[in-house]
Amino acid sequence: MSTSTPPAAPTAKKNPAVDAVARSAARDRVLLGIAAPVLAIVAAIVISSLVFLASGENPFRAYGIMADYGHYSDSQVWIINKAVPYYLSALAVAVGFRMNLFNIGVDGQYRLAAFAAAAVGGAVALPGALQIILLIVIAMLVGAVWSGIAGLLRTTRGVSEVITTIMLNSIAASVIGYFLQDGRLAVKDGNLLHTTFLPESSHFFSFATHPKPVEGFVVIAVVAGALYWFLINRTRFGFDLRAVGASEPAAEASGVSVKRMVVISMLLSGAAAGLVGMPTLLGESFQYGTDFPAGIGFTGIAIALLGRNHPVGMGFGALLWAFLDRTGSRLEFEGYAQEIVGVIQGVIVLCVVIAYEVVRRYGLRLQQRKVGEELAVLARTGDGTADNSDKPEVTA
């Protein structure tokens, strides 16, 4: 690791003292990078254990149950299938987060999108993969339009997207409620109302695993994650997005149209949200009914925070969340309180957010001290003209 400091190399020949400082800074950076997640994990385990103890239960027995139940193959398949919508939802939220937009409306967006796709899918039957592509495109379009409303209101009228997206959630629920009635777009099936079943060609493929299959939508989730990474880190658009997120006036001054960025990223966020309901619709229920899952949009916010908006981090976050869902229900079966897993999930998110912030601040202080030492060394050796702009940055 200590050899990875090319910026400091030119001065190194002249000044071994500066080289040593730079080398230790690089080491610090790696240590700090590891410190944040480790700190978060340790804190989460300690606090969760305290919660278990406070409720009069043995935490180690609980962890044992969770680990044991989670390692069976049916649990693993369940966890992956459950994590896919979570991950897509986190992606949708993260697109907004990267430029300081808070899209709380993923919930309404994916439900309306899934409902629209289900309504169209029940009415038309295209051959082969065309049907699936059509439904996914419709879902993404509807999701994009629904969140685009919030984007437009923010740029034209200055209404906070936090308010509009929350309200659009309610409106989406009411719109679905209106159309999901017998004689409108739904059929009555016992005491359930749902759209007509999708034709066979709409069924997404799945991987045959034991004992239940893993849904093929996991592939779409991985592809979406890769696209997200590419878009944010490797394109001009992604750079503008991050620039606006870091400082709106600075981005505006350097020629980025902030309004345009707001609308586009809300559209993208909504399009990603449109995918959230698809694994359920195309792989499991094949209709949109009164029992269609709700609330995944809010879980996505927690997972985006947990994964620090990073595509791989959110993947782990989604899997962890699904693991806790799965094993938490088991805990309830074993006699623990049902609410305890909700508490653990909340504790983990808080620990991650706080740990990263603490480490970031510590890193900044450390960096300031290092710079001071470096300057002192340079002053002592009389080489005041050395290039100081190459100081290694501490990023937490």
Partner 1 sequence: MRRVIRVVAAATATACLALTATACGQSFAEANRATHAGVGLAFDIGGRDDHSFNEAAARGTEDARKHLGVNVKMLTAKNGETEADREQRLTSFAEAGYNPVIGVGFAYSQSVQNVAKDFPDTTFGVVDAVPTGKNVDAMVFAEHEGSYLAGVAAALKSRTHKVGFIGGVNNALIQKFQAGFEQGVRDTDPRAKVVSQYLYPNNDKGFNDPAAAKAKAQGMLDSGIDVIYSAAGQSGAGSIEAISKVKGAWAIGVDSDQYRQPGLARYKDHILTSVVKNVDVAVFDLIKSCEQHKPLTGIHTYDLKHGGVSLATSGGFIKDIQPQIDAARKKIIEGRVKVKETPQP
From the list 347, 355, 341, the residue with the least C-alpha distance to 63 is 341
CB 274 within 8 A of CB 148: no
Q: Which amino acid does the sequence have at 169? A: N
Report the C-alpha gap between 88 and 92 in whole angstroms. Answer: 6
Q: Is 210 in the site for partner 1 (CB under 8 A)?
A: yes
Residue 86 tokens read as 């979570």
137 vs 291 by CB, closer to partner 1 = 291
Residue 124: partners with Cβ closer than 8 Å, 6 or more residues away? 131, 134
74 vs 357 by CB, closer to partner 1 = 74
- Could you tell me which stretch among 56-64, 76-84, 244-252, 260-268 binds partner 1 (CB under 8 A)? 76-84
Q: Is 173 in the site for partner 1 (CB under 8 A)?
A: yes
- What one-character DSSP code corresponds to residue 196? P
Q: Which position among 35, 113, 180, 352 is part of the footprint of partner 1 (CB under 8 A)?
A: 180
From the list 140, 179, 148, the residue with the least C-alpha distance to 165 is 148
Q: Is 387 in the site for partner 1 (CB under 8 A)?
A: no
- Could you tell me which stretch among 44-52, 198-206, 313-321, 351-359 binds partner 1 (CB under 8 A)? 313-321
Using the structure block, give the residue that is written with the tokens 């990875």: 4
Q: Which position among 92, 138, 214, 305 is part of the footprint of partner 1 (CB under 8 A)?
A: 214
Report the C-alpha gap between 222 and 239 in whole angstroms. Answer: 22
Report the C-alpha gap between 42 and 174 in whole angstroms. Answer: 43
Taking the complex as a whole, the smallest distance from the CB of residue 393 to partner 1 amounts, in Å, to 11
Q: Which position among 227, 332, 357, 368 is part of the footprint of partner 1 (CB under 8 A)?
A: 332
From the list 107, 120, 80, 78, the residue with the least C-alpha distance to 221 is 80
Q: Which position among 325, 373, 383, 390 is part of the footprint of partner 1 (CB under 8 A)?
A: 325
Q: Which position among 18, 80, 104, 351 is part of the footprint of partner 1 (CB under 8 A)?
A: 80
245 vs 297 by CB, closer to partner 1 = 297
Q: Is the dihedral of CA 268, 168, 291, 79 positive or negative?
A: positive
Report the C-alpha gap between 246 and 244 in whole angstroms. Answer: 5
Taking the complex as a whole, the smallest distance from the CB of residue 212 to partner 1 amounts, in Å, to 9
Q: Is 294 in the site for partner 1 (CB under 8 A)?
A: yes
Residue 79 tokens read as 């966890």
Q: Which position among 23, 48, 51, 82 is part of the footprint of partner 1 (CB under 8 A)?
A: 82
155 vs 309 by CB, closer to partner 1 = 309
CB 38 within 8 A of CB 45: no
Q: Is 388 in the site for partner 1 (CB under 8 A)?
A: no
Instruction: Return residues touching partner 1 (CB under 8 A).
Output: 4, 69, 71-82, 173-174, 176-178, 180-182, 188, 190-193, 207, 209-211, 214, 218, 222, 280, 284-285, 290-291, 293-296, 312, 315-316, 319, 325-326, 329-330, 332-333, 338, 342
